[in-house]
Amino acid sequence: MSSNQPITTGDRCQVIWGAMGKDSPNIGLIVVARQYVGDHSQHGRIWRCEAEYAHQIQPGVNVRPGMADFAQAWLKKLPPDATPATTKPAATEVDHP
């Protein structure tokens, strides 16, 4: 499934990039998109995701535990039968889209 496909609520996604670039601690994490929260001036469309194991670099004011915000460009949409969202990130290298 292409990372260019639009993400919608309920989609399982793999984090492929982050605020710290290739050194972002959340790369490889599997999350579930739950809510579009707006557009960021630099990063574009932002999704609030179920992300139990996510490392919060800049926690949002209204982001409850177990959730984290990710730019859509940092997410790769996965097939519906992908690994559950509670999976800890794998030690893999992923290139930015």
Sheet bearing 67-71, strands edge to edge: 67-71, 44-50, 30-40, 12-15, 75-77
pLDDT at 87: 53
pLDDT at 23 exceeding the cut of 90: yes
The per-residue pLDDT for range 42-87, each reduced to its tens digit, is: 999 999 999 988 887 666 667 788 899 999 999 999 987 755 655 5
What percent of the chain clears pLDDT 70, i.e. is strictly above it? 72
Give the C-alpha distances (Å, rounded to integers) separating 15 from 50, 65, 90. Answer: 12, 18, 11
* Beta strand 30-40 pairing with 12-15: antiparallel
> What pTM does this model have?
0.75
